[in-house]
Amino acid sequence: MLIASEVSSIVEHVDDILRKDFNKQLFNPKEPDQIRLLKLRVWSERYCVSVRYILSKLVPYFERLANKHSNRFGTSKGLGTTIAVLTGPAAEAFIKDVISKDYSDGENVIAWKEERRLEALALVEKDEAEDIAIKQPKGILHYVLIKDYVAAYEKRISRIKNNEEKITKKIAKQPWRGNPFR
Give residue-wise pLDDT tens across range 19-59.
898 888 888 888 889 999 999 999 998 999 999 999 999 98
Residue 1 has a pLDDT of 60
Distance CA 76, CA 70 (A): 13
Residue 5 has a pLDDT of 83
Give the pLDDT mean for 143-168. 86
* Domain layout of the chain by residue ranges: 2-102, 107-172
Distance CA 161, CA 164 (A): 5
**Residues 87/63, Cβ–Cβ less than 8 Å:** no
**Residues 160/134, Cβ–Cβ less than 8 Å:** no
- Alpha carbon distances (Å) from 45 to 35, 93, 96, 99, 119: 16, 16, 13, 13, 15
Residue 91 has a pLDDT of 94
Residue 144: is its pLDDT beyond 70?
yes
Contacts of 94 (CB under 8 A, 6+ apart): 57, 58, 61
DSSP letter, residue 139:
P
DSSP string covering 166-181: HHHHHHHTS--TT-TT
Residue 172 has a pLDDT of 79
Residue 92 has a pLDDT of 94
Distance CA 95, CA 54 (A): 7
Residue 62 has a pLDDT of 84
56-115 tens-digit pLDDT: 999 888 888 766 666 655 556 667 788 898 999 999 999 999 999 999 888 998 888 888
Give the pLDDT mean for 161-167. 81
Residue 56 has a pLDDT of 93
CB count in 10 Å sphere of residue 126: 9
Give the pLDDT mean for 135-161. 84
Residue 168 has a pLDDT of 79
